[in-house]
Structures are given as C-alpha cells and as structure tokens.
Amino acid sequence: MEKKQIVGIMLIVLAVSLWGCSSVDLEGYANPTTVENIEKQQDKQINDLSDKDAIDFLQKAYEAQMSLVDKAMKEEKLESGEINTVLHPLSGEEIHQTLAPYQTKDSIDTFIKVAGETLEEGWLPHDEEITGYLVDYKTDAKKISFKRKKGQIEVTAKVYVEEQSPAEVIATLSNTSNGWRVSKIDIQ
C-alpha cells in the first residue's frame, strides 16, 4: 500500500472515531411526544400515592396525634373506682418528634396552636374539640373523597361529631423532600 492510501485510511478512521465527540446543540429538536410522555411519567411518580395508601398514611398520622393526647391526659383509676384525668404537659420538641414522620413543620406548628394550649409547663390538648386534628379514617369517616393536584392530594372526610352538625375534615398531603406529609388540616 502506498503512503497516500495509508494516510487516507488513517484520516477516515480518525474522522469516524471523532464523530461522536463533537458537540451539537439539539435544543428545540426534542420530540414533543417524548417530552410530554416524560412529563406525564414524572407527574405519575409525584402523585404515586394510591387512595388506600393515602388513607393508611393519614390513619397513622391520626394515631400519632392521639398518642400525644394519651400522653398529655392520662386517666387513672382511683381507689374509690372513679376515674381521674392526670395532666402531663408535653414539650414542643416531643410533639415535633412524634408528628414529624407525618406532618410538615408548619402543619405541626399550626397543630400546637389550634389543637391545644401552650402553658408555662408545656402543651395540653383541648378536651372536646376536633379543630386541628385529623379523624379516625377507619371508623369516623363516613364519606371520603380525593382531589389530586401536582404533588398534592386533598383528602376530604365527612364526619359526624357527637352533638354537632356534620363536618368535613380536609387533609392536604404534600409530596415533600422528606416524602409525603400532611401540610394542612382544615375543618368546615
């Protein structure tokens, strides 16, 4: 083989090997259908909490709230047979630690303000009020509906509170960097 042929073959090999190394700006050339499908897939992952999983999560959050009530207001049976409620105020730190796996920090702060009273000794829950609380989704909720938005699920539960008219408890679940959390609780 002649020198010219060898140099020519080497240039072709070099050109072919460098082909994938060049930088090409393809912005604006993406297939819109592919982009749309990727966005739909991402939305599905964001809202990938089934109705059942949402209720199970809210039930655990409710049970965490009730565990705080049980700690703060312990019932003790007296020798006479009567039941006495002994108050054990809770610290804000204890409330945050208990609810953090289920609620956002802002939601916990709101819970502390509206679901109880902060005294010098600590926090005590309100006695007969449901403001700020979730509901027992297994027994108290009579009708449950779901409204989904990007990264959020509003779960509305219709409940009947003793001696009060029906109420709707609306819990907003948000997909945060820490996973799903209750970000808001409204009662109407």
pLDDT digits (tens, 9 = 90+) for 22-59: 444 434 444 455 445 544 444 444 458 999 999 999 99
Entry pTM = 0.70
Confidence of residue 87 (pLDDT cuts 50, 70, 90): confident
The pLDDT tens digits for 127-185 are 666 677 888 888 788 889 999 999 999 999 988 877 667 888 999 999 999 999 999 99
The pLDDT tens digits for 91-113 are 999 999 999 999 999 999 999 99
Report residue 136 CA to chain centroid gap.
17
- 155 Cβ contact partners less than 8 Å away, ≥ 6 residues apart: 54, 55, 58, 144, 145, 146, 170, 171, 172, 173
Look at strands 83-87 and 152-160 and give their pairing: unpaired
What pLDDT shows up at residue 61? Answer: 96
Using alpha carbons, select from 186, 46, 66 the residue that is nearest to residue 138: 66
Report residue 11 CA to chain centroid gap.
60
- What is the rounded distance in angstroms from the CA atom of residue 112 to the CA atom of residue 115? 6
What pLDDT shows up at residue 134? Answer: 86
User: At the topology level of CATH, where does 50-187 sit?
Assistant: Nuclear Transport Factor 2; Chain: A, (3.10.450)
Mean pLDDT to the nearest integer, 71-86: 87
What pLDDT shows up at residue 135? Answer: 85
- What is the rounded distance in angstroms from the CA atom of residue 107 to the CA atom of residue 115? 11
What pLDDT shows up at residue 128? Answer: 64
Higher pLDDT, 164 or 188: 188
DSSP class per residue in 34-88 = HHHHHHHHHHHHHT---HHHHHHHHHHHHHHHHHHHHHHEEEEE-TTS-EEEEE-
Which pair of structure tokens corresponds to residue 94?
A: 């204890």
Rg of the chain taking only CA atoms, in angstroms: 29
Q: Is 5 in a helix, a strand, or coil?
A: helix
Residue extents of the structural domains in the chain: 50-187
